Chain A
C-alpha cells in the first residue's frame, strides 16, 4: 500500500482503500444491489485506451493497477467488476464476460453480463452507459461470445506466457489477491 502511495500518490491509495471497504462492507447484500454498487464504483474511473496508459495494444490490468492509475478500458472495467463481485459472494456461473460489438461506435467492446438464472436474459454492466440494463434494451450492442471470467483470465495469462496449470484454476482468485497484495508492498 505504501508502494502504491509512493508511486501513484495518496489519491491512488485512497481509491484502493475505498475499493477494499466496498468489498468488505457489502458482503451480505442482495446481488442486484451489489451489481449497482460495483458498477457505479468502477464507472467512476475515466476511460482511456490501453495504448495511452500502458503503451500496449491490449493490456488487461488488475483492479489495483486500474485504480492506482485511475484509468481503464472496457476489458479492465469488466474484469474489475467480475472479480469484485466474485469476492462479494456472487456465484461464478451467474457472471459471464461477453465480447460484444458496440454498433454505434462500430468498435470492439467488452461487458459483464449477469444471469439471474442460467437460461434467463442477462443484465449488462457496461462503462459506456452507467446504468445497468436488460440485454434486450441494449440495441447498441451485438453479443459475439461469452466466457466465464476465471477461464478467460486463465487463457489470457497463458497467452502472456505465464505457466498456468489446471490445478491453478481453482486458486486463480487467490492468485489475483496475492498479486494485488504484492502490488501493495
Chain B
C-alpha cells in the first residue's frame, strides 16, 4: 500500500467515524423527537376528544360519540382510536393498518418508531364514564425520519467525496517529491544518475532528496573513475600515443582474429598507407611538426573510415597506417584506394608549399583463404609497386581469380538470398556459451547459414552473405526468417532453460517495420520470449542509440534480453553503457589474442568486467579458441565464454 493510499484511507476512516457518530446522534435525536411528537399528538387528541365527548356521555348518546370519534379518526393521523367504558369494555374501536409508502421496509425494521398511547378520561358529570385510548399513525413520522436520514446520507456522500478529492489533491502535491525520489532510485538502478534540482519544502522530504542526490553523484563519480581507468589502460595498451588510433599490437590481434573467423569476416580489403620520408620531415621541421602531420593524416583517415561499417584503422609505427575494410570487395577497394590517395595528396603539414609527394597506398584483397601475415605481405608488395609509381599513387593487387561465391554480382546476390529465404534454404547452427568458471550451459548463439542452391552440402556462413544482404536492404528479411525459425526451435523444446541468442543486423533496426514486427512476434509467443536474447554488434549500437533504446524497451516487456557483441572493437567510450539496459557484452576476439601472455589485455578485461558488473551487465568472452585462453579467463571475473575450444557451431539436431 502506498503512503498516499494509507493517508487517504486514514482520512476516509476518520470521516466515516465522524459521520457514523453524527448520523447516529442525529437519527437518535430525530427518532426521540418524533416519538415525543407522536405521544403528545396522541395525548392531546385524547384529551380534546375526551373533553368533547364528555357532555354526550351524560345522555349516553353513543351514536354522536361514535361520529365524533370518526370525524377525528378519518383525518388519517391515527392508527388506533379506542373508547372503553370504565369497566374496560370496548365501546368504539377504530383501527388503521400501518402502511408506509415511500419508505423501504428494511428501514422501518431497523429503525422502528414507537407510537405511544395517549389516554384520557371520559366524564359524565362527576362520574367516570370511560376512557379514550389513541395511538398516532407513525407513517408521517417514518417519512420524515427517512427523509432526514437520506438527506444526511446524501450530504455526507457529497462532502466526503469533496473532502477526499481535496485530500488526494493535497497529498499529491505534498508527496510529489517522493515520486521523484522513487524515480531517481529507479533511475540509479537503471544505471542513470540523475540529480533532483527542485528541493521539496517539507524538511524530512528535503533531507531524503539531498541524501539521494549525494548518493547519485557519488555513484556516478565512482563509475566514471572506473571507466577512466579502463579507458586509460586500453589507451596505453592499444592506442598509438600520438594519433590515438589503434596501435600495431592491437591491429595485428584484430587482423589475426578476423582472418581466422569466417563467421565474422569472409572477405575484406587491407590498405597500407605509408607517408614518405617522415624521418626527413622530422629532421627538417622538428618532431612537433611531424606529430602534427601524423595527426592530420589520422584525421583524414578517420573521415574515410567512418563510411566503412566494419573497419579497423591503425597507426602501425612512424609514418605507417593500416586500414582494414571488412566486407569490401575489389571494386569498392579501388574506390577506397583512390580516396586514400586523394587524402595523401591533400596533406599539407604546416607548410603550404610542401612537396606534393606525401606517400603511397598499397592494397590487398582478403578472400577468406590467406592468413594475416600472408595478407600483410601482399599489401606490402602492393605498397612497393605504388611507391615505384607517381606521387601519392595507390596500387591494388587484385587476385586473378576471385572465389565464386563472392564473385556474384549484386543482382545475383539479391535473387540468391531471396530464393534461399523463399525455399527455406536456411540452416541454423548453434554454438554453446558456457558460464565461467563452472562451465555450465548459459545459452546457445544462433549462427545462420544459407544453403547453396546447387550443392546442399555447401553452407554459406553469415560473414559471406550478410554484408551483401545489408547493402541490398535484405538484412531485415533474413533476421525475420531466422527469428521465425528460432521460435519454432524453442517451441519444439520442452526445456525452459533452453535459451538462444540471435544476431540482429543494425540495418534491420533501421528498417521501418522491423521493430513492430518483432514486438508482434514476441507478443504472439509470449511464453517463449524470455528464452530469447538479441545480440547486436557494438559498432552498430553506438551509432544508433535511439533505436537501441526502442528495441530494449519493446523486447524487455516480454522479458527478452538484449546484448552487445564485438565489444571494444572501436575505441568508443563506455559512457553509453549506463543508458542501455543490456544483459551482457561479448568482448571482441581481438582482446583475447595471447591473453595468457599479454598482461595489458588482462588488465583491460578485468577493468572492463568491473565496470560492467557495476552496471549489472555480464561479460562474456568470444573466440575462446584454446584451453589456455579459457584458463586465463578464470582469473578475470569474466562470466562466460564461447569458442571452438568450448564447442563448435553445429546444426541443432547434432548437439
Q: Is B110 an interface residue (CB 8 A)?
A: no
The contact of B128 among A115, A124, A155, A165, by CB within 8 Å, is A115
**Chain A residues with CB below 8 A from B87, complex form:** 118-119
B121 touches A147 (CB 8 A): yes
Known contacts being A135-B126, A136-B126, A143-B126, is A118 close to B121, with CB within 8 Å?
no
A119 to B50, CA, bound (A): 16
Q: Is A113 an interface residue (CB 8 A)?
A: yes
B86 touches A145 (CB 8 A): no
The contact of B126 among A121, A151, A165, A166, by CB within 8 Å, is A121
Instruction: For chain A, residues 144 to 172, give those with C-beta under 8 angstroms from any C-beta of chain B.
Output: 145-148, 151, 155, 165-166
Q: Is B125 an interface residue (CB 8 A)?
A: yes
**Chain A residues with CB below 8 A from B36, complex form:** 165
Known contacts being A118-B86, A118-B87, A145-B51, is A113 close to B126, with CB within 8 Å?
yes
**Chain B residues with CB below 8 A from A148, complex form:** 121
> What is the distance, in angstroms, from A91's C-beta to the closest C-beta of chain B?
14
A121 to B126, CA, bound (A): 7
A155 to B116, CA, bound (A): 15
> What is the distance, in angstroms, from A60's C-beta to the closest C-beta of chain B?
18
Q: Is A122 an interface residue (CB 8 A)?
A: yes
Instruction: For chain B, residues 27 to 77, give those with C-beta under 8 angstroms from any C-beta of chain A.
Output: 36, 39, 43, 50-51, 54
Q: Is B123 an interface residue (CB 8 A)?
A: yes
B128 touches A143 (CB 8 A): no
Q: Is A96 an interface residue (CB 8 A)?
A: yes
> What is the distance, in angstroms, from A1's C-beta to the closest C-beta of chain B?
36
A146 touches B116 (CB 8 A): no
The contact of A146 among B39, B43, B123, by CB within 8 Å, is B123
**Chain B residues with CB below 8 A from A115, complex form:** 128
**Chain A residues with CB below 8 A from B198, complex form:** none
Number of A positions contacting B (CB below 8 A): 21
Number of B positions contacting A (CB below 8 A): 17
Q: Is B127 an interface residue (CB 8 A)?
A: yes
**Residue in B43, B54, B121, B127 with the greatest tally of chain A CB atoms within 10 Å:** B127
Known contacts being A118-B86, A119-B86, A166-B116, is A145 close to B128, with CB within 8 Å?
no
**Chain A residues with CB below 8 A from B127, complex form:** 119-122
B125 touches A146 (CB 8 A): no
> What is the distance, in angstroms, from B229's C-beta to the closest C-beta of chain A?
90
B128 touches A96 (CB 8 A): yes
CB closest residue in chain B, given A155: B43
B128 touches A119 (CB 8 A): yes
CB closest residue in chain A, given B40: A158
Contact with A along B84-98 (1 / 0, CB 8 A): 001100000000000
A96 to B119, CA, bound (A): 14
A145 touches B54 (CB 8 A): yes
A17 to B125, CA, bound (A): 38
CB closest residue in chain A, given B121: A146
Contact with B along A109-151 (1 / 0, CB 8 A): 0000101001111101000000000011000000101111001
A44 to B121, CA, bound (A): 31
B116 touches A143 (CB 8 A): no
> What is the distance, in angstroms, from B86's C-beta to the closest C-beta of chain A?
4
A115 to B126, CA, bound (A): 10
A74 to B455, CA, bound (A): 139
Contact with A along B110-133 (1 / 0, CB 8 A): 000000100111010111100000
Interfacial residues, chain A to chain B (CB-CB below 8 A):
96, 98, 113, 115, 118-122, 124, 135-136, 143, 145-148, 151, 155, 165-166
By Cβ-Cβ distance, the 3 closest A-B pairs, closest first, are: A135-B126, A118-B86, A119-B86
A–B pairs, 28, beta carbons within 8 Å: A96-B121, A96-B128, A113-B126, A115-B128, A118-B86, A118-B87, A118-B128, A119-B87, A119-B127, A119-B128, A120-B127, A121-B127, A124-B126, A135-B126, A143-B123, A143-B126, A145-B50, A145-B51, A145-B54, A145-B121, A146-B121, A146-B123, A146-B128, A147-B120, A147-B121, A151-B119, A155-B43, A166-B116
